[in-house]
Amino acid sequence: MNQISINITIVILLLISSCTSIKDKPQLQLSTYTYDFGIIKKDTSYTGSVVLTNIGNSSLHIEDISAGCSCTKSTLSNCDIQPGDTSLLTFTYNSLGKKGMQENYIILKANTDSLIYVLQINANIK
């Protein structure tokens, strides 16, 4: 009987600790996951931005930001985002030598369960 009580106690403690760890994780939310420049002119640079929010309960760290092509450059106002705080991701898309519908991506890596987040950037170059 004593062994059963110990096993039940261990299971309950594991459940409680796993629930606690879920609450104490950072969570990243983007203001939008698709940014559309609409119709733009060729051979011109355009700038856009999205807001990143830590909706979790511990510090969020953006570990890496990469673009799908050299035509897109990005900067982040703050790589470490506290719970409830925000950071501004600003990006510039250069339409040099491109035409028609374009789809590019910015990939963010963070210390969250999802690990990566993708921002899709669209433009129709005339």
Query: Model confidence over 26-41: pLDDT tens digits?
Result: 999 999 999 999 999 9
**Domain for residue 68, yes or no?**
yes
Q: Are 81 and 38 in contact (CB under 8 A)?
A: no
pTM listed for this prediction: 0.81
**Domain for residue 108, yes or no?**
yes
Number of domains in the chain: 1
**Domain for residue 2, yes or no?**
no
**Domain for residue 13, yes or no?**
no
Give the tokens for residue 23: 């609450």
Q: What is the CA radius of gyration of the chain?
A: 21
Q: Encode pLDDT of 34-71 as tens digits.
A: 999 999 999 999 999 999 999 999 999 999 999 999 99
**Domain for residue 4, yes or no?**
no
